[in-house]
C-alpha cells in the first residue's frame, strides 16, 4: 500500500554516497513528509539502495524522469512499482500523449498501491533563453501550461512545475491535479542552479501540494533542524 505523507515536504537526497544518504534519512526520520531519490542515486545503488534509505514506511518520490517509447516506459513504471513501491514517480511530458497514457495505464494496474504519475514540464534549471536554445519559442510559463494540459488529458495525476507556475496551473486545472514543486529555497538560502524559485510558504500559499527541498536540508550541518525550520515556516 502506498504510504501517506505526513506533511508536504519531500527531502531530496540525491547523493552518490549510500552511507551519507542513510545518515540524512535517519536524521529526518519522522519529520519529513517523504524522501525524493533520483537518477544519480539510482544509477549508483539501484532499487536495493533506494530501499535501504527509505525502508518500508517512508513515502518515496522516485524521480527517474522516464522518457522513451510508450512500451518501454510502461515496463519501467511496472518494474519500479514492483521493486520500490513509490508514492509518486516522474515521466517527461514531452514524451507525448501515447507515452503519458502508457505510464498512467501501467501504474493503474497496481490498484490502491498505484503510484502517482507526475509529468515533468519544464525543468526548474531552465528559463526562456534555454527553451529558445532547444527550439521552443515560447515563454517557460506557456510551455508549462501546454505540457500540463497534455499530461492531464492523457491520465497523469499531476505535474512537476516550478514555483512560478503554481498559481496558473491551479487556476487552470483545479484542486485535484497534483502539483509537486522543486525549486523551493528557504529564505536566505543559496539558489544553486535553480532559476525559478520561491520560499516554502510562498509555494504552499500559491497552491502547491508537495514541496521538494534538496540541498538546504540534505547538505545542512543539522538536517533535522533544517526540516523543522521549514515546517515551522509553513505553520
> Minimal CA–CA distance to 34: which of 56, 51, 10?
10
Residue for grid cell 520500490? 84
Which grid cell is 20? 551519507
Asked about 65 being catalytic, the answer comes back as yes
Secondary structure string (H, E, C) spanning 64-131: EEECCCHHHHHHHHHHHHHHHCCCEEEEEHHHCHHHHHHHHHHHHCCHHHCCEEEEECCCCCCCHHHH
**How far is it, in rounded angstroms, from Cα 192 to Cα 180?**
19
Q: Which of 36, 39, 57, 65 is catalytic?
A: 65
Separation in Å, CA 167 to CA 1, 49, 170, 171, 220: 31, 36, 5, 6, 29
Residue for grid cell 535517519? 26
**How far is it, in rounded angstroms, from Cα 188 to Cα 107?**
39
- Residues serving a catalytic function are 65
Amino acid at each position: 500500500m502506498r504510504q501517506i505523507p505526513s506533511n508536504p515536504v519531500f527531502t531530496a537526497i540525491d547523493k552518490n554516497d549510500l552511507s551519507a544518504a542513510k545518515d540524512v534519512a535517519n536524521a529526518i526520520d519522522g519529520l519529513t513528509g517523504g524522501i525524493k531519490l533520483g537518477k544519480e542515486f539510482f544509477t549508483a545503488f539501484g532499487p536495493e539502495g533506494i530501499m535501504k534509505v527509505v525502508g518500508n514506511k517512508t513515502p518515496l518520490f522516485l524521480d527517474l524522469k522516464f522518457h522513451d517509447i510508450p512500451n518501454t516506459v510502461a515496463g519501467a513504471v511496472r518494474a519500479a512499482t514492483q521493486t520500490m513501491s513509490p508514492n509518486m514517480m516522474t515521466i517527461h511530458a514531452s514524451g507525448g500523449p501515447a507515452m503519458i497514457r502508457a505510464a498512467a495505464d501501467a501504474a493503474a494496474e497496481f490498484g490502491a498501491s498505484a503510484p502517482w504519475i507526475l509529468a515533468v514540464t519544464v525543468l526548474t534549471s531552465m528559463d526562456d533563453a534555454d527553451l529558445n536554445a532547444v527550439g521552443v519559442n515560447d515563454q517557460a510559463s506557456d510551455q508549462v501550461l501546454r505540457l500540463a494540459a497534455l499530461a492531464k488529458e492523457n491520465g497523469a495525476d499531476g505535474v512537476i512545475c516550478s514555483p512560478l507556475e503554481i498559481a496558473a496551473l491551479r487556476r487552470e486545472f483545479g484542486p485535484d491535479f497534483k502539483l509537486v514543486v522543486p525549486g523551493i529555497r528557504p529564505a536566505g538560502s543559496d539558489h544553486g542552479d535553480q532559476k525559478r524559485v520561491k520560499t516554502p510558504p510562498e509555494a504552499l500559499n500559491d497552491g502547491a501540494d508537495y514541496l521538494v527541498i534538496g540541498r538546504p536540508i540534505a547538505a545542512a550541518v543539522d538536517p533535522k533542524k533544517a526540516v523543522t525550520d521549514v515546517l515551522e515556516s509553513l505553520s
